[in-house]
Each structure stands twice: as C-alpha cells, then as structure tokens.
Structure 1
Amino acid sequence: MFTLDQFKRLVADFRDVADFLVIYIAEAHSSDGWAFGNNYDINQHQSLEERLSAARILVQSDPLCPVVVDEMSNAAAIHYGSHPERLYVLQAGKVVYKGGIGPWGYSPQEVRSVLEKLQ
C-alpha cells in the first residue's frame, strides 16, 4: 500500500500500452506475524474468504486495474516468486521484465522504463 500511488501513476500513464493486474497474495506483514506499526490490521489469512476480505481493502484504494486473489495454496506467489511483492511485465506470454523481490527490489520506475520502450 505504501507504493500504491506510484503503481497507480504507472497504470494511468500506460493504460494504452499495457493491461495491468494485481494478484493479492498471502499477507506479508500480518498483524499476527511480522507487522509494521503503521500497517493495516490484517491477520494471516486462514481461509479464502479472509483473503478476499483483505483484498477488498486494496480495491477500496482504487488501484485503477483489476485485483484478483491467489488461491490458498499460494500457487501464483510460488510460481512467480512474488512474496512479499514483485512486479512483472509480460508480452505475448513471455516475461520481458522480472523485478526484484519487494520491498527493496520493488521498482515501479524500472517498470516505467520497460513500458516506455514498448510504446
């Protein structure tokens, strides 16, 4: 959520170049786990309904693109190595950009550079 404004600028600036999608995965900083002091009060998801409920908080912040929810088996997070967060750019079914693992490797500016080249 901390970098959501940067992500929203990407979506707004490149919606004619790319389709954007957020996959909500397991909560990285749950209240009952490794939490930050200024974080949302979200416990680690024990059911799909809990994960959906947590994802609705993100949807209320209007990320400007669809939000889908990973399965409780964390299939998407495992496949894309995205816990706690990661940015990708795919073109024609192939990965053309794989960002570093967040939070330190999360770089909307790198995605911006990739998308500028695809324009």
Structure 2
Amino acid sequence: MYKLCEFKQLVKDFSDVADFLVVYIAEAHSTDGWVFANNVDITKHRNQEERLAAAQYLVKEDPLCPIVVDEMKDTTASKYGAIPERLYVLQAGKVVYKGKMGPRGYSPEEVRSFLEKMK
C-alpha cells in the first residue's frame, strides 16, 4: 500500500505498452504477526476465504488493474520469490524484468525505466 500511488501511475502511463496484474499473497504485516503503526487491520489468513476478504482492502484502493489471489499454499509467491512483494515484467511468457525483493527493493521507478525502453 505504501507505494500504491506510484504503481497506479505506472498503470496509467504504460497501459498502452503492458497489461498489469496484482497477485495478492500472504499478508506480510498481519496485526497478529509482525505489525507496524498505521497498518491495515488484517490478521494472518487461515483459509482462502480470509485471504479473499483481505484482498478487498486492495480492491477498494482501485489499483487500476485486475487483482488475483494466491492460493493458501503460496504457490505463486514461492515460485516468483515474492514474499513480501516483488515487481516483474513478463513478455511472451518469459521474465524480462525481475525487481528486487520488497519492501526496500520494491521499485516502481525501476519498472518505469524498463517500460520506457519498450515504448
């Protein structure tokens, strides 16, 4: 959520170059886990229904692209090394940009630079 505004601007600026998708994964900062001030009140997901309900917080923020939800086995997050978050660009089914792991490595600015070269 911290850099959602930057992500949304990417979607606006590059929707003619790329299709965007958010995969909602396990909550990194659940209120019954490692929490910080001013966090959204989401507890650790115990089942898929809870994860789907938690994803609604993101839906309400309107990221301007589709949102899908990872399964409870965290298959997508594990395969993409996305815990707690990571940005990717895929082209023709292949990874052409792999961002650093978040939160510190989560850089919409790097994705912007990469996508600018694709215009």
Shared topology, TM-score over 0.5? yes
Partner of 2:13: 13
Partner of 2:32: 32
Partner of 1:70: 70
Secondary structure at the counterpart of residue 56 of structure 2: helix
Once residues 44 and 102 of structure 1 are traced to their aligned partners in structure 2, the CA distance between those partners, rounded to angstroms, is 19
So what's the TM-score if we normalise by structure 1? 0.99
Secondary structure at the counterpart of residue 36 of structure 1: coil
Partner of 1:108: 108
Aligned residue identity for 1:106 = Y
Give unmatched runs, 5+ long, in structure 2: none
Q: Deviation per CA, 1:78-104, whole angstroms, max 9, x where unpaired?
A: 000000000000011111110000010
Partner of 1:51: 51
Secondary structure at the counterpart of residue 16 of structure 2: coil
Q: How does 1:85-96 map to 2 (within 5 A)?
A: 85-96=85-96
Let me know the Cα RMSD of the aligned residues: 0.4
Following TM superposition, by how much is the alpha carbon of 1:37 offset from its aligned partner in structure 2, in angstroms?
1.1
Aligned residue identity for 1:116 = E
Following TM superposition, by how much is the alpha carbon of 1:72 offset from its aligned partner in structure 2, in angstroms?
0.3
Once residues 72 and 37 of structure 2 are traced to their aligned partners in structure 1, the CA distance between those partners, rounded to angstroms, is 26
Aligned residue identity for 1:3 = K
Q: Deviation per CA, 1:35-58, whole angstroms, max 9, x where unpaired?
A: 111100100000101000010110
Once residues 116 and 92 of structure 1 are traced to their aligned partners in structure 2, the CA distance between those partners, rounded to angstroms, is 18
Aligned residue identity for 1:27 = E
Partner of 2:98: 98
